[in-house]
Structure 1
Amino acid sequence: MEDWRHGGFGLYLHWPFCASKCPYCDFNSHVAAEIDQKRWRRAYLGEIARVGVETQGRVLNTVFFGGGTPSLMEPDTIAAILETVRTAWPVANDLEVTLEANPGSVEAGRFRAYADAGVNRLSMGVQALNDDDLKRLGRLHSSAEARAAFDIARAAFPRVSFDLIYARQDQSVSGWEAELREALGMAVDHLSLYQLTIEDGTAFGARHAAGRLAGLPNDDTAADMYLMTQDILASSGMPAYEVSNHARAGAESRHNLIYWRYGDYAGIGPGAHGRLTLGGRRIATDTPRAPGAWLAQVEAAGHGELPREPLSPGDQAAEYLMMALRLSEGLDVDRYAALAGRALAAGAVARLEDLSMIRREGTRLCPTPAGRAVLNAVIRELMP
Structure 2
Amino acid sequence: MTDAPLGLYVHWPYCARICPYCDFNVYKARGDDEALFQSLVADLGYWAERLERRSLVSIHFGGGTPSLMTPAQIGELIGKAELMFGFAPLIEIGLEANPNDSDGFEGFRAAGINRLSLGVQSFQDDALVALGRDHDGAAAHRSHELARKNFDAVSLDLIYAREGQTLADWEAELTAILSEQPGHVSAYQLTIEPGTAFDRRVARGELIPPGDSLGAELYTLTQTLCADAGMTGYEISNHCREGQSSRHNRLYWEGADWIGIGPGAHGRMGNFRSGGRVASTTVLKPAAYIEQVTRTGCGSDIETLSALDEARERILMGLRISDGLDIDRITALTGHSIDLEEAGRLERQGLIGIDDRIVRLTPDGRLYADGIAQLLCP
Same fold flag (TM > 0.5): yes
Deviation per residue, 1:96-133 (Å, 9 max, x gap): 000000001xx101000000010000000001111111
Pairwise CA distance, 1:54: 1.5
SS in 2 for 1:39: helix
Counterpart of 1:58 (choices 54, 58, 61) is: 54
Which amino acid in the other structure matches residue 121 of structure 2?
Q
Pairwise CA distance, 1:342: 3.8
Task: Give distance in 2, aligned partners of 1:92 and 1:16.
Answer: 27
Structure 1 window deviating more from structure 2 (317-326 vs 347-356): it is: 347-356
1:48 lines up with 2:44 in the alignment: yes
Deviation per residue, 1:295-316 (Å, 9 max, x gap): 122123322122x111111111
Pairwise CA distance, 1:226: 0.5
1:275 lines up with 2:268 in the alignment: yes
Assess if the C-alpha contact under 8 Å between 1:190 and 1:251 holds in 2: yes
Pairwise CA distance, 1:330: 1.0
Assess if the C-alpha contact under 8 Å between 1:56 and 1:88 holds in 2: no
For 1:75, the equivalent position in structure 2 comes to 71
Assess if the C-alpha contact under 8 Å between 2:10 and 2:265 holds in 1: yes
1:188 lines up with 2:185 in the alignment: no
SS in 2 for 1:188: coil
TM superposition score normalised by structure 1: 0.95
For 2:279, the equivalent position in structure 1 comes to 284
Assess if the C-alpha contact under 8 Å between 2:308 and 2:336 holds in 1: no
Counterpart of 2:356 (choices 358, 362, 376) is: 362
- Gaps in structure 1 of 5+ consecutive residues: none
Assess if the C-alpha contact under 8 Å between 1:191 and 1:247 holds in 2: yes
Pairwise CA distance, 1:378: 1.1
Pairwise CA distance, 1:180: 0.5
SS in 2 for 1:266: strand
Assess if the C-alpha contact under 8 Å between 1:161 and 1:187 holds in 2: no
TM superposition score normalised by structure 2: 0.96
SS in 1 for 2:193: coil
1:109 lines up with 2:106 in the alignment: no
1:218 lines up with 2:176 in the alignment: no
For residues 1-150 of structure 1, the aligned pairs below 5 Å read 5=4, 8-36=5-33, 38-104=34-100, 107-150=101-144
Counterpart of 1:227 (choices 216, 220, 224) is: 220
- Gaps in structure 2 of 5+ consecutive residues: none
Pairwise CA distance, 1:32: 3.1
Task: Give distance in 1, aligned partners of 2:340 and 2:38.
Answer: 52
Pairwise CA distance, 1:206: 0.7
Task: Give distance in 2, aligned partners of 1:143 and 1:80.
Answer: 33
Counterpart of 1:203 (choices 192, 197, 203) is: 197
SS in 1 for 2:364: helix
For 2:311, the equivalent position in structure 1 comes to 317
Assess if the C-alpha contact under 8 Å between 2:156 and 2:182 holds in 1: no
Deviation per residue, 1:66-115 (Å, 9 max, x gap): 000001101100000000000111211110000000001xx101000000
Assess if the C-alpha contact under 8 Å between 1:269 and 1:294 holds in 2: yes
Task: Give distance in 1, aligned partners of 2:95 and 2:192.
Answer: 26
C-alpha root-mean-square deviation of aligned residues, in Å?
1.4
For 1:175, the equivalent position in structure 2 comes to 169
For 2:292, the equivalent position in structure 1 comes to 297
Give the aligned length: 375
Q: 1:46 to 1:187 in 2, by over 3 A?
A: farther
For 2:245, the equivalent position in structure 1 comes to 252
Assess if the C-alpha contact under 8 Å between 2:98 and 2:120 holds in 1: yes
Q: 1:345 to 1:300 in 2, by over 3 A?
A: closer
Which amino acid in the other structure matches residue 55 of structure 2?
V
Task: Give distance in 2, aligned partners of 1:218 and 1:332.
Answer: 34
